[in-house]
Amino acid sequence: MTIYKICSAAEWAAAEAAGTYRGSAVDHKDGFIHFSTAAQAEETASRHFAGQDGLVLVAIDPDRLGDALRWEPSRGGALFPHLYAELPLHAVQGVAPLPLVDGRHAFPPRLFPTVAAP
C-alpha cells in the first residue's frame, strides 16, 4: 500500500533541501502530518486544496515510517494515516505535479494508478 501527501511544490522543494518534510501549516496546527490513501486523495484534494495550483503529490511507503504512523478516524469515521514525526525522505517513492485540469486536480497515473488520467 502507498499513502499520499498533497502539498505545495515550494514546501516540497524546501523539504528536499532540508532532507526531511516537517509538514504544512495545517499539519503543525494539528500536531501531525496528514496523509491520504489512494481512495481518499481525490476528496482530500477537492476539500482542502480546491482551485490551488502549484501542488505536488508525494507517494510514501508507510512501512518505512515506523510507530510514528497512526491510523485514526477522520472524515466520516474513515481511518486516515497521520504521522507524528517528520517525514524522512527515504520513505518517499515518488513525487509528481498535481495540476489543475478544468478546475480539478489531475492525479498522475505513474504514482496514482487507481485514478484514470483526464
What CATH number is given to the structural domain containing 52? 3.20.170.20
Residue 112 lies in a domain: no
Residue 7 lies in a domain: yes
pTM > 0.75: yes
Residue 25 lies in a domain: yes
Number of compact structural domains in the chain: 1
Could you report the per-residue pLDDT of 61-86, keeping only the tens digit for each? 999 999 999 999 998 889 999 999 99
Give the burial string for 33-47 (b: 16+ CB within 10 Å, else e). Answer: bbbbbbebbbebbee
Q: How confident is the model at residue 114 (pLDDT cuts 50, 70, 90)?
A: low
Domain that holds residue 41: 3-105
